[in-house]
Structure 1
């Protein structure tokens, strides 16, 4: 749905009113940038782009501007931000909104104005009349986490926007290294596009150019441990130390990742599917997919043993019974046995 809305905007098929809500800020900002780019020319932005913060400005005052004719142009674009009156959440703003004025506008929107109402909140109050009216009469973009399929399409189209193609295997590796953070993925795709001499991003380029996050380095370290490849695991550990990462932080993330592998394995045993596991653990489904690929190769007994070993090392480090750097080195060696 999100990608369909973006394509319509790029084709200059605009809706009179958009409702952008959800806590994935990148998607809201991306949509606002697309609207600005395609609704107005560069010369028109200064005259026909208006932005109102509804925590500071009453909706009726903002709508006066919406209904004012554009200056030296065919259209005007108006962003109405932070529509807190659409939620049940408490807000510190003392501004009172005459929402009936917005209801009246929705019944007869100005033909020359494109309005985007943003509500950067996880949920809207569906009991409110104005919420129901907006959902019935506007084009809605729910800015939530993209699922794996949507994320793959988004990566391909993001690369295409930079006039490059990206191999499917390269998408897999990019998502494995960078995770599902859209801002981080966008930055990496932009960087890869600049180096794609043949207009094709492959796995070799991703491996060479994409910086691994701290969490990804730990994920790789855990992967090496579970494969009993202790020498590469130690190499990653020493590199993290050279980057001045704290041993206790390294241990904490290691424990968290192994604990998630165990939880995923246990939830699968109870009959949970990938989406349900993601909901229970409050992580992106793609992380669950990666965990499922790893957890299936190891018994619950092995994972529990690793959790206890890490807990013991944590206790010794925090009570001064073991030198921090050496404690993790020893536990990595022990895990290989």
Structure 2
């Protein structure tokens, strides 16, 4: 687990070779920063930190650097980004790598360098001999999307690091409003901690008042208002989005995406899928699946089919110029509320 690796880095328990893979860019960036802060002394980055893009530079060139004695320091830190030879995914492959050179280095790594291979891929290719050897000899950590429980714990720990306490209701509200993007969540927790510097307590009311809503989250709330037959509040959110110069076609597309997700979640639930399975199958975060499942309970299959047809018709009319785009969405919301 990535957090176990963080503990090792902070304890300065280093291995000569690491493989950091996964698609959660926030965790990748945080890990890289932890390496820099804990491996290199103050002002050493200029001399003993190197970064190579393996889409552009052969690995043998980078390994020559790893075998160079550090200047004015104890260790060199080498980041090898985009090692496409470790995945089955299609990559740029602009250069040919002498992978035998890497295999040789793995057997006898430099005692004064730490090499971190940063693979921004969902999976490593377990069939490859090189991958198997790396998993045997190197420290391999996955920077994967956090589950709901991990996200909640992340928010709590981030607040704690800022010297504040956030209650459970506030954590739930933050995820509902800000979504699951760790970059955004970190920014929002830091902002709330600063605001609550005196009380040291973050509650749901403060979250509601201060947390920024993304366009997607605003539209999720809009749909939620319609689900609960509060069309006046849904329209108020819609008019606010227009005042913020959001494009009506984009708003319509995201509304359609949310109802498509509701429809898919309802169908997959009928087939016996769990939330984690749905998230993997639909390639969305399980927390979004959880919220969509709650909304799906408010609609029958017939209603959802009718709504999807209404959205398709609205999209066609908007793109063919048959009607004012702003009015189209307004009419859709009224019809959705009335059930006509």
What corresponds to 1:119 in structure 2?
A: 119
Gapped runs of 5+ residues in structure 2? none
Cα separation, partners in 2 of 1:77 and 1:335, compared to 1, 3 Å: same
2:15 corresponds to 1:18? no
Residues in 1 aligned to 2:219 and 2:8: alpha-carbon distance in whole angstroms = 41
Give the deviation of 1:178 after TM superposition.
1.6
Q: 1:207: which partner in 2?
A: 208
Q: Which segment drifts farther, 156-165 or 141-150?
A: 156-165
Taking structure 2 as the reference length, what is the TM-score of the superposition?
Answer: 0.91
What is the Cα deviation at residue 202 of structure 1?
2.1
**1:1-337 aligned within 5 A:** 1-89=1-89, 91-197=91-197, 198-337=199-338
SS at match of 1:234: helix
Unaligned runs of 5+ in 1: none
- State the shift of 1:195 in Å: 1.4
Map Cα deviations across residues 56-80 of structure 1 (whole Å, 9 max, x no partner).
3332332232223323322221112
| Aligned-pair CA distance for 1:27 | 1.9
Corresponding residue pairs, total: 337
Cα deviation, residue 90, structure 1? 5.3
Task: For 1:304 and 1:96, locate their aligned partners in 2 and report how far apart those are by CA, in whole Å.
Answer: 52
Measure the CA separation in 1 of the matches of 2:64 and 2:319: 62
The two structures, once aligned, show a CA RMSD in angstroms of: 2.0
Q: How far 1:92 sits from its partner (Å)?
A: 4.5
For 1:236, what is the secondary structure of its paired residue? helix
After superposition, what is the alpha-carbon deviation per residue over 1:14-61, rounded to whole angstroms, capped at 9, x for unaligned?
A: 222110122322222111011101111222222222222223333233
Provide the C-alpha distance between the structure 2 equivalents of 1:133 and 1:185, rounded to a whole number of angstroms.
37
Range that drifts further, 309-318 or 284-293: 309-318
Residues 316 and 120 of structure 1: CA distance in aligned 2, closer, same or farther (over 3 Å)? closer
SS for the counterpart of 2:43 is helix
Q: State the distance in 2 between where 1:90 and 1:278 align.
A: 23
Change (3 A) 1:85 1:334: closer
Find the residue that maps to 2:131 and give its secondary structure: helix
Q: Secondary structure at the match of 1:80?
A: strand
